[in-house]
Amino acid sequence: MRIAVVQFNSGKSKEENLDFIKGKIDKYSGKQDLVIFPEYSMIKPDFNDRNYMIDVSESITGQFVEEIRSMTMKREIAVIGNFVESRGQTEKPFNTSFAIDNMGILFGKYQKLHLFDSYGYMESKVYNEGLRRPEVISINGIPFGMEICYDIRFPELSRLYALKGAQMITIQAGFFKGEYKLETWTALLKSIAMTNGVFVVASGQSGPEFIGHSTVISPAGKVIEELGEDEEDITVKIDMSEVTSYRENVKVLTARRRDFYDISGL
C-alpha cells in the first residue's frame, strides 16, 4: 500500500487549511493510495475559548468534509482527515477523524476518546470526549484503526484494534513540545507497533508548538521513515505480509495468558 503522510502547521483559517489539504490530495493523485493529515488540520484550536470552538465546528456533511470528499472522488485517492465535529450551538464539539475512500465514500469515523488534560493544557474545556465505539475499518483490503494524539498513551485502544483484526493503526497528532516529549512520542509509537504486531502510520503537526516527527513504523519496531520538525511529507510503500511474518514469530496476540489477566472487553 502506498501512503503519503502530511506534516504541516495549520492556522486559524479553515479556508486556507482546506486549500492546503486539497493541494496535497491533488499532488498525490495517481501516485499514492492514501493520504493522511494530522490532528487539528481543519483549524488550530483555542483551548481557552469554548464558544469559538463551537462556532467553527461543522457536521460531517458540512463544507470542510464535503469538499475533501468531492476531491477524493475526482482524484481517486483515499484520505484520513480530522475536523471539529459539531454537537449543536451550545454543546462542546468532538475532535473527530474521518476516512474517505477513493470513490468519495465516507467509510469511517472516530471521535477522540482521551482528551489532553495534562501539562497545563485542558482540551476538555473546548471538546467533548468521544462517544462512539472504536471500530476496525478497511481500505484496499487492509484492516486498520484510527487514534488521535493523547490516545497513544492508553494501550487498551490499540490492543482492542489488534484483537479485532487491525493490521495498521493510523495516528493523527498535534503533539505539543515539552521535556521528553519527543522521546515519549517515539517510545509510544514503537510500543504500539511491536506489542500488537501492526504498522503504525503517524501524522503530526509541525510549527513552534508541536514536535512534528511524523513517523511510519513496522510491526517489528523499525522506523521506516521519520520527519523532523519542518513542514514536509513522507511517501512510503508498506508490505502487509510483514504483519503476518512478525505475528508468526512473535505471538503478541495468541500467546496471551488470559487465565491470569483476563481484562474485560480485551
Q: Indicate the residue type of 101.
A: D
**257: burial class by Cβ within 10 Å (0-12, 13-18, 19+)?**
exposed
Identify each DSSP E strand in the chain by its residue range: 2-7, 34-36, 78-85, 94-100, 106-111, 137-139, 142-148, 168-173, 199-204, 215-217, 223-226, 232-237
Task: Please check the confidence at residue 88 and state whether its pLDDT lies above 90.
Answer: yes
Average pLDDT across the chain, whole number = 97
| 3 state SS of 6 | strand
pLDDT value of position 265: 64
**From 11-15, 187-191, 206-210, 258-262, the region with the lowest mean pLDDT:** 258-262
What is the 8-class DSSP label of residue 219? T
Q: What is the CATH number of domain 2-249?
A: 3.60.110.10
Tens digit of each residue's pLDDT (9 = 90 or more) over 228-238: 999 999 999 99
Q: Does the model's pTM come out above 0.85?
A: yes
Q: Are 83 and 42 in contact (CB under 8 A)?
A: yes
Provide the CA 91 distance to its chain's centre, in angstroms.
Answer: 24
For residue 203 the three cell numbers come to 501524522
pLDDT value of position 86: 98
Domain ranges, ordered by start, for the chain? 2-249
| 3 state SS of 63 | helix
pLDDT confidence bin for 221, thresholds 50/70/90: very high
Direct distance between the N- and C-terminal alpha carbons of the chain, in angstroms, rounded to an integer: 29
Place of cell 492546503: 20
Q: Report which of 80, 112, 81 is spatially closest to residue 94, judged by C-alpha positions.
A: 112
Mean pLDDT on 139-145: 97
| 3 state SS of 254 | coil
